[in-house]
Chains A and B, each alone.
Chain A
Amino acid sequence: MDYYKKRTLDFAKSFVLEGYTVAGPKENDGRYKGFFDFALEDDMFGQNTFERAERKMFEHAIEGAIAKANLDDVDVDAVIAGDLLNQIVSASFAAKKNHAGFLGIYNACATFVESLIIGSAMLNNGLENVVCAAGSHFSTAERQYRYPLELGVLRSPVTQWTATGVGATVLSNKQTGKLPRITRATLGRVIDYGVMDVNNMGAAMAPSACDTIVTFFRDTNTKPQDYDVIYTGDLGKLGSDILMDLTRQEGFDVSAQLHDCGASLYWDEQQTYQGGSGAACSALVFNSVLLGRIRRGEYKKILLAGTGALMSPTTSFQGDSIPAITHLVEVSA
């Protein structure tokens, strides 16, 4: 990995007020059953299309997060959100409900961490409260990126399962009591190692995860042992294995700390092969699992690295390889 210059930011005042999650039925049957604030009974969420269901999940998550933080809609200065659909319609349409300014963002499955970084930067420049949200829906992503749902195809053992869910986080520039903080962040750069197989996104994203994580350690003079856990977004099992090999080669052994939000989301019996993928993975696990563990004092300091594969079906059909990006935040108790 080449290392040119520092890409890590420091945040003095980015406090995590609350997190709220809406999870799909399969996700709530997984390893984190009962952790989510709201679980869908069926993934249509009472709507007549999956796209509308995804939109409603965004509305519900953003509203839920604001209410849970004991804030009112007008207290929020900005909503920063994104999803996987073309023109990020789910987040944008959902934002019609909010009075706050809206920034629609896209970095594929790294969108959630991207939103935390942008939100934290804005809090350090005058805004008081921001909501950061990201999510995905299995059925909308499947039709956009792959095949119709009912088409009978054999899935490759390296595939992942797009998670259905939306997670929203309320960040504030004021410290009211003891709150988890976003203290540092490393901006990812786009890395392409030439992987062509759209089924194997873990392999496509692992080099970018390595680049960002190693850059963070070098920028901040820290090492994996300084952290309780390092969570990647959706590398899956294979991608995580590759990441361990790659970071070891750079002199950082992360095997004791490394977990993957996507890979930890489902049980093996749920047949997701490499685990979950999608923008929902890091948003669900951070807001419903990691945040709670930090608050209870189980973790003092963690790293969350959102991983995203930036291809589209068009670029893949035209024979281009898959570029990837990884953004990282350090969250401290």
Chain B
Amino acid sequence: MEAKSEITRENYKSYVFEKMPKSSHWKNMIWAFLIGGTICAIGQGFIELYSLWFNLQDASVLASGTLVFVAAVLTGFGVYDQIGRFAGAGSTIPITGFSNAVVSPALEFRAEGYVYGVGAKMFLVAGPVIVNGVTISVIVALITLIFGG
């Protein structure tokens, strides 16, 4: 494994990039597709189930709530991070990922109490998503308002 050219402070980053093991994008994408798809299919299953008693809009809200609850429980039992370890975006992007992102810091910082721990750190991971989500929606709403829709 002779280095091709001299490694210097300047070319070090590109040398490291060549040498480092790469994540397998195909493997990651297939796992994300399978797990993400399964979560969505389960969600659809709940919608179908709740549609037996409620209208479609209420059934969708209830299904989302159920998924959030199940993901929170799985996070508490230490299962969700095991899924996330190979599912990647497949378990992060669905609403269950959001649940995991809120519950995991809440659990972690419980040791610092309910105010400075759970209260202050609960949105450590999900906070940026909420802030940016709200900001972007305001911008989009303004654009719609100005240019008419």
A residues touching B (Cβ–Cβ < 8 Å)? 48-51, 143, 147-158, 193-195, 200, 203, 207, 238, 241-242, 244-246, 248-249
Contacts and interface: CB of A to CB of B under 8 A. Distances in A.
A151 B20 contact: no
A158 B21 CA distance: 7
Given A242-B16, A242-B19, A249-B3, A152 B100 contact: yes
Contacts, number: 102
B58 to A, nearest CB: 29
B12 A157 contact: no
B28 interface: yes
Contacts of A156: 23
Contact of A245 (B3, B85, B107, B125): B3
A111 B73 CA distance: 39
B108 A150 contact: yes
A154 B16 contact: no
Closest 3 CB pairs of A and B: A152-B84, A154-B88, A150-B104
A152 B104 CA distance: 9
Interface string B65-94: 000000000011010111111111101100
Interface string B87-119: 111011000010011011101110100000000
Nearest to A48: B111
Given A149-B104, A150-B75, A151-B104, A249 B23 contact: no
B3 A200 contact: no
Contacts of B108: 143, 148-150
Contact of A150 (B1, B12, B19, B80): B80
A249 B20 contact: no
Given A152-B75, A154-B85, 9 more contacts: A143-B109, A150-B76, A150-B107, A152-B97, A154-B87, A193-B9, A200-B20, A238-B21, A246-B7
Given A155-B85, A158-B21, A241-B19, A150 B7 contact: no
Contact residues of A: prevailing secondary structure = loop
B61 to A, nearest CB: 24
A17 to B, nearest CB: 37
Given A238-B20, A238-B21, A248-B3, A151 B84 contact: yes
Nearest to B13: A194
Nearest to B103: A150
Contacts of B81: 149-153
Contacts of B111: 48-51
Nearest to B91: A152
Contacts of A248: 2-3
Given A150-B78, A151-B84, A152-B92, A203 B104 contact: no
Contacts of A149: 81, 104, 107-108
Contacts of B97: 152
Contacts of A195: 12-13, 16
A195 B104 CA distance: 29
Nearest to B9: A193
Contacts of B83: 152
